């Protein structure tokens, strides 16, 4: 049994949580059992003190969990906070850390009494993607929809697609956006055309269409159709210039550079202007152009 002490000056650890955990650690030395309960910030700190011989905590993952907890998107799914018979935390360190960061309790299943060695068998399966979760709900094209939704959320938060994993929206946040915002699917369907892959990915085209739709839905449909098909375009038409750049096999430009080119084409096309060229390079810290 772990010998916990409570520092009288440390109000983050509650004596009742110490007592609760001691009783279960004692029982776990003799038998295996599980129960539902609340993982409070105080209890999470105690469990993290038992976290020896585990992989390092990935703060970015814990912060994403905390984001969902704070937003009320966290769901109890039956995965356990597991403590071994020798009183080591086998599984659940990121959830514990997330509860501490969020300073908000969550309901979990606690399991006690398994062997310490069993920690080597956890998390060995393939992680489910947001697209997998959407498919399980009967939503078609989940992978494409989740990619577009993630890009849209990035744009709303940072003004461009973020390359920082820690800044990305959580799986629950992306799933919620797809389920609650039918504009995501409408934009995917608008860009799912023959020849689209030659221009850019569904993520780039779908995100652009979504942003343009906030200004003018009909114009957004017309713009992406012309960009993909090339029909009825003349030289110096902003859409033609953007299309030629995106089709150029010698210009390897990333998603944000593609989007900058597309956004500039949209703004010039909407203004009725002709252009000779469109800039695609993005300086460090630069956001995508605002659309009008």
pLDDT band for position 122 (50/70/90)? low
User: What confidence tier does 223 reach under pLDDT thresholds 50, 70, 90?
Assistant: very high
Q: What is the pLDDT of residue 13?
A: 87
The pLDDT value recorded for residue 128 is 65
DSSP 173-188: HHHHHHHH-HHHHHHH
Q: Is the pLDDT of residue 118 over 70?
A: no
Contact 260, 279 (CB under 8 A): yes
Mean pLDDT of 195-221: 96
181, two tokens: 């915002």
pLDDT digits (tens, 9 = 90+) for 239-287: 999 999 999 877 789 999 999 999 999 999 999 999 999 989 988 889 9
As given in the structure block, the two tokens for residue 109 are 């299943």
- pLDDT tens for 41-95 read 999 999 998 877 666 888 888 998 999 999 998 988 888 899 999 899 988 899 9
Q: What's the whole-number mean pLDDT along residues 87-107?
A: 92
Q: Under a CB-based contact definition with an 8 Å cutoff, are residues 75 and 171 in contact? A: no
What is the pTM assigned to this prediction?
A: 0.68
pLDDT of residue 7: 46
Q: Can you tell me which residue has the tokens 């520092």?
A: 7
More confident residue, 163 or 218: 218
pLDDT at 9: 45
* Selected residue with higher pLDDT from 78 and 197: 197
The secondary element (H helix, E strand) that includes residue 189 is: helix 182-191
For residue 165, the SS3 value is helix
Q: Do 170 and 68 contact (CB within 8 A), yes or no? A: yes
Tens digit of each residue's pLDDT (9 = 90 or more) over 1-23: 555 554 444 558 899 999 999 99
pLDDT band at 167 (very low <50, low <70, confident <90, very high): confident
Q: Please state, for a pLDDT cut of 90, what percent of the chain lies above it.
A: 65
Residue that has been written with the tokens 């002490």 in this structure: 5
Task: Give yes or no for residue 117 having a pLDDT over 80.
Answer: no
In angstroms, the Cα distances linking 181 to 72, 84, 126, 178 are 18, 43, 28, 5
């Amino acid at each position: 049994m772990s010998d916990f002490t409570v520092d009288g000056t440390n109000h983050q650890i509650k004596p009742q949580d110490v007592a609760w955990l001691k009783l279960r650690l004692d029982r776990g030395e003799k038998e295996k059992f599980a129960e539902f309960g609340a993982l409070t910030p105080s209890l999470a700190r105690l469990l993290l003190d038992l976290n020896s011989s585990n992989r390092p905590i990935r703060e970015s993952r814990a912060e994403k969990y905390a984001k969902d907890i704070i937003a009320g998107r966290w769901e109890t799914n039956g995965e356990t906070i597991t403590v071994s018979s020798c009183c080591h935390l086998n599984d659940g360190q990121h959830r514990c850390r997330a509860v501490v960061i969020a300073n908000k309790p969550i309901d979990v299943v606690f399991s006690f009494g398994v062997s310490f060695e069993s920690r080597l068998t956890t998390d060995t399966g393939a992680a489910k993607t947001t697209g997998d979760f959407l498919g399980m709900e009967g939503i078609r094209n989940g992978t494409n929809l989740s990619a577009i939704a993630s890009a849209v959320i990035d744009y709303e938060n940072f003004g461009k697609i973020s390359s920082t994993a820690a800044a990305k929206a959580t799986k629950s946040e992306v799933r919620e956006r797809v389920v609650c915002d039918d504009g995501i699917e409408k934009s995917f369907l608008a860009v799912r055309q023959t020849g689209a892959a030659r221009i850019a990915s569904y993520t780039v085209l779908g995100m652009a269409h979504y942003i343009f739709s906030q200004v003018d839905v009909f114009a957004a449909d017309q713009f992406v159709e012309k960009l993909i098909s090339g029909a009825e375009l003349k030289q110096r038409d902003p859409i033609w210039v953007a299309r030629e750049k995106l089709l150029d096999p010698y210009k390897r430009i990333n998603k944000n550079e593609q989007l900058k080119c597309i956004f500039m084409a949209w703004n010039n096309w909407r203004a009725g202007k002709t252009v000779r060229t469109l800039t695609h390079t993005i300086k460090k810290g630069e956001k995508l152009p605002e659309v009008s």
